[in-house]
Chain A
C-alpha cells in the first residue's frame, strides 16, 4: 500500500552492530506491526503497537526493540543480541474500531537485512 513506507529497501549489518529499520504510515492508522519472514516461511510477529507510547512483544521479540513516539512512525531496532537477523522485515498497519473487531492489516514493501 502506498501509505506505508519502509526504508531502506536493503540493509547490511556488521557483527556487533545495531541497525534501525524505518516504518512510516500516512493512513492515520492506530495500530502498527513488525513481522519477520524467512525464506519459505510464513510471517512471524516481532512487536506491535496499538496506540502511541505503548507496544507489546510478539512471538519472537528477543533481540529486537521498538518505539512508538508518533502515531505515524514505528521504527524497529535489530540489536547485536539478535544472532540470526538475516531476513525480510515487513511493517504493517491497521485501523482500530473496537475491542471486538480486528481490522485488515496492510503491509509496506519490506526491508531485506543481511549480515556482512
Chain B
C-alpha cells in the first residue's frame, strides 16, 4: 500500500520568515495530494491540494509543489504569522473516485514572535 513520509516533525521559524514542509510518497499511482492544518483538539482543515497533472499551486501565502518523478511534494508558507502555528499533515491517494487518504505523521509548526 501507499506510504507517506513527512519531515520535519517539528519546525520553528521566526514570524515573517518562510516555512517549508516536505513529504514523500511510495506509490507512483497516487494522483491527489491534500494538505491539512490541525489546531490542538480541533478537526483537520484542508488548506490546499494539488493533483498529479499540476506542478505547482498557490493560494495567497501558501503554495504546494509536486515532483512526480521524485515522488515528493512540499508545502511552502511565506510571511508566517502567529496564527500559522499548528500541526500540518500531508496526504496522498491513488486511483479515482472516493478512496481513503494515507497521511504523513504531521509537522508541528511553531511561529516565534
Interface SS, A side: loop
- Determine which residue in B34, B45, B49, B96 has the highest number of CB atoms from chain A within 10 A of its CB, and name it: B96
B108 closest partner in A (C-beta): A40
Contacts of A101 in B (CB 8 A): 32, 51, 96
Contact, CB under 8 Å: A58 / B98: no
Give the one of B44, B98, B102, B105 with max A CB within 10 A.
B98
Chain A residues contacting B51 (CB-CB under 8 Å) are 101
B-facing mask of A93-110, CB < 8 A → 1, else 0? 010101111111111111
- Chain B residues 45 to 69 lying within 8 A of chain A, measured CB to CB, are 45-46, 49, 51
Contact of A105 among B1, B46, B97 (CB under 8 A): B46
* A96 contacts B97, C-beta separation under 8 Å: yes
